[in-house]
Each structure stands twice: as structure tokens, then as C-alpha cells.
Amino acid sequence: MSDLLKYAIELVAVLLLALGIKGLSKVRSARGANQVAAIAMALAVLGLLISYAGEPSFNAQAWTWIIGGTAVGGVLGAVMAQRVPMTSMPETVALFNGCGGMSSLLVALAAALYPAALDATGPVALVSIVVSVFVGSITFTGSIVAMAKLQGWLSTPPWMQSKLRHVFNIALAVAALVGAVEMIRNADSGKGLWLLIVSSSLLGIGVTLPIGGGRHACSDFTAQQLFRCCSSGCRLRGGKSVVDRGWSHGRGCRFDPHPSYV
């Protein structure tokens, strides 16, 4: 019975999630679709909790840790989402994205350190762990660098714009590969894990740091301009919003810290 309920909830959650993403692609349905996707996520969590309801280790202690993590992360996320000014949306999304990466990195780390407790044994689990560690680390550091750049806290060091950065990044990619192979060949030693974490974290920095130094600036800074426009709420005549305009003429632009139409 519990199984059936779990599958039913999961099915509905997946369906709602797909509908939500689909709806996000049309202006009229976008806001409702976002809420549908949020409900789908809540359902997925509910389904998981129901499926583990009978588990002996799902006790008061586990609940304490769950509530603790939920309270801190959820409240911080909610407060930040409400308080942050509309002009710094791109940075905020970058920060959120980085935290998602950190989360999957930590889960993969837990699975790598305690495979027996989490049933994370066997080749499939191992490959998943390696991929999650790699992607999680890159996402975290890359997003944090992106946030710092958008925020204006960080500028590109000159050597990062030279050809030297390719050597640096390729060396890091090779080190990450070595770490990944070592992890798969020799999972118990733990050396591969830390090599993979360190090298892919640095790779995340190495890949994102040159962005914005040259012509790549456009996409990021157009987004920033876009949101400056949105926040002031100004519209152009003819029913076309500044938002549309901002994108269409933003193609070949350089970033202007004080757009004239704000």
C-alpha cells in the first residue's frame, strides 16, 4: 500500500514537473507553471518521506537533523529571495545555483565516505558518485565566481586572459580525470576523491574567471541591464517592454554601468 502510494505520488510529481517546465516557456502561463513545479517538488519530498516511513533509522534523531537543515536553508533562501533587489537577480540566481552544486557535492561526498550505510556500492553508484563530485564542485566554485563577477567584487586577472589559462585548465582537467580514474580503480584509498574535489573546484574557477574579461561580457551584463530595466518598471511605447528591447539590442553591447533608460 505504501509502495503504491509512493509510486502514485512520484508519477504525479514527474508529470507536474514536466508540465511546469513546459509552461515556463510561455509568458502567459509562466507564473502558474513555476508554482506547479514548486508543488511537484514538494510532492516528490512527500513521496520520499512516505516511502521511508517504516524505516527504523527514520527516528526522532533523523527528524531533528532534517528540521535543522530545513529551517536554516529554507529560511535563508526565503529571506534572501524576498529581500534581494531586482537589480541583482543574476547574482542571486548564480548563488542559488552554486548552493545546489554544493548540495550534490556533499551528498556524493557522504556516499563516497560511507558507501555501506547509503547502499552506494557497485560500479553504477561509483560512477554516479564520481560524476556528482565533479559536477558539484565545478558548479559550486564556478557559480560563486560568476556571482562575484556580476556583483563587481572580482575582476579578471590579466594572465587569465592570456593563452596561459588553457594550459592551466587542461592541467586541472587532466588532474580531475586522474582523480576520477583513481576513485574508480581504488575506491578505498580516498586519495582520488580529494584530488577530484580539489582539481574540479579549481577548474570551475579557471573556466569562469576569464569570462567577462573580453567580449564574453555581453551575455552576463545584458542580463544585469535587463534587470535594471525591469526593476524600474519602465516600458517603451507601442506595448513593447524595455525587457524585449533590452535583449534585442543587447547583442553587440558592452556593459554600461548606468544605462541611460533606467
Partner 1 sequence: MFVEFLWVLLLGSLLGFELIGKVPPTLHTPLMSGANAISGITVLAALTAIIKAGDNTALLLLGSVSLGFALFNVIGGFLVTDRMLAMFSRKPARKENR
- Residue numbers 128-147 binding partner 1 by CB under 8 A: 128
C-beta neighbour count of 124 within 10 angstroms: 9
184 binds partner 1 (CB under 8 A): no
**Which residues does 251 contact at the CB level (< 8 Å), separation at least 6?**
218
Q: In 3-state terms, what secondary structure has residue 59? A: coil
How many angstroms separate the CA atoms of 184 and 238, rounded?
60
The reply to whether 113 sits near partner 1 by the rule CB under 8 A is yes
226 close to 255: Cβ distance less than 8 angstroms = no
**CB 257, min distance to partner 1, A:** 19
Considering only residues 45 through 74, tell me which ones interact with partner 1, judged by CB under 8 A: 45, 48-49, 52, 55, 57-58, 61-62, 65-66, 68-70, 72-74
**Which residues 214-243 are close enough to bind partner 1 by CB under 8 A?**
223, 226-227, 230, 233, 235, 241, 243
Q: Which is nearer to partner 1, 76 or 164 (CB)?
A: 76
Among the listed ranges 95-103, 155-163, 181-189, 204-212, the one in contact with partner 1 (CB under 8 A) is: 95-103
106 binds partner 1 (CB under 8 A): yes
The answer to whether 167 contacts partner 1 (rule: CB under 8 A) is no
- Residue (74 or 157) nearer to partner 1, CB: 74
Q: Which amino acid is present at 214?
A: G
**Residue 241 pairs with which residues in a beta bridge?**
235
Contacts of 213 (CB under 8 A, 6+ apart): 155, 156, 160, 161
CB of 140 to partner 1, least distance (A): 9
The least CB distance from residue 166 to partner 1, in Å, is 27
Other beta carbons within 10 Å of 252: 7
150 touches 96 (CB < 8 A): no
Rule CB under 8 A: is residue 15 a binding residue for partner 1? no
Choose between 69 and 190: whose C-beta lies nearer to partner 1. Answer: 69
The amino acid at residue 37 is A
**Contacts (Cβ under 8 Å, ≥6 apart) of 175:** 195, 199
Supply the minimum distance, in Å, between the C-beta of residue 143 and partner 1: 9
